[in-house]
Chains A and B, each alone.
Chain A
């Protein structure tokens, strides 16, 4: 099917891309917030209640990650190093662990149990994040070397 003609000029197109970019990041952070809020509020069927949000968030993240790596882009400010990956993994796992332990304590009022739950979450998120980042970094460097080889020809 042929798409209708683009009515925007290059500046309007640039502005629209910026608006869509902001909307995309707003959606990502809103979905993440919605997931954490629902996990903290619902006792039963918590996993079922966040399923749709989680699937959308994962699709968005996978799309962004794959597209960036395919184009040899990592991040605007951060560099792909083991140290950066370690810091990001630590921060994200600490935040997740803290949220989970606080919500667990608010639900069950059991301090040690909540601390253990938070600790398990911390470990799980840390291992998964560092694994995902290291794997992405490996793919990124592989893609960068391919792009550079193509440029030399």
Chain B
């Protein structure tokens, strides 16, 4: 799984730290970091919660495009 850069960018736009975003979503910073690093694949429920906080769509944050690194096999 590749790193999720879109979340990091969206977070930077809103000037929110990883810890603050994690707290708003209701997860640990450890999990938020794992999602950004592409080490953990979140459930759709958690994806939607992150999208809601960052004001982005699922496709913008979790869709496959150039901003997100390609999936490594």
Residues of A within 8 A of B (CB): 9-12, 14
Query: Which candidate, B12-20, B24-32, B54-62, B65-73, is the interface stretch facing chain A?
Result: B24-32
Q: Is B1 an interface residue (CB 8 A)?
A: no
**Are B28 and A10 interface neighbours, CB within 8 A?**
no
Instruction: List the B residue with the shortest CB-CB distance to A8.
Output: B28
Number of interface residues of B (CB under 8 A): 10
Is the beta-carbon distance between A11 and B26 smaller than 8 angstroms? Answer: no
Query: Knowing that A10-B42, A11-B40 are A-B contacts, what are 6 other residue pairs whose CB atoms are under 8 Å apart, sorted by A's residue number?
Result: A9-B26, A9-B28, A9-B31, A11-B30, A11-B31, A14-B40
A140→B71 CA distance, assembly (Å): 36
Tell whether, in the assembled complex, residue B30 and residue A12 are in contact, meaning their CB atoms are under 8 Å apart: yes
B27 (CB) vs chain A CBs: closest residue: A9
Interface residue? B53 (CB, 8 A): no
Contacts of B34 in A (CB 8 A): 11
Total contacts A-B at CB 8 Å = 20
Does B46 count as interface, using CB distance less than 8 angstroms?
A: yes
Residues in A with CB closer than 8 Å to B42 are 10-11
Docked pose: A11 CA to B47 CA in angstroms: 13
CB of A4 to closest CB in B, whole Å: 16
Contacts of B31 in A (CB 8 A): 9-12
Give A14 to B30 CA distance when docked, in angstroms.
13
Q: Which residue of B lies closest to A9 (CB)?
A: B27
A9 to B34, CA, bound (A): 12
Whether A10 lies near B43 (C-beta < 8 A) is: yes
Shortest distance between the CB of A110 and any CB in chain B (Å): 58
Residue of A nearest to B39 (CB): A11
- Complex Cα distance, B31 from A12, in Å, reads 8
Closest Cβ of chain B: how far from A35's Cβ, in Å? Answer: 39
**Complex: how many Å from CA A12 to CA B43?**
13
Q: How far is the CA of A17 from the CA of B31 in the complex (A)?
A: 15
Distance of A54 Cα from B43 Cα, bound (Å)? 40
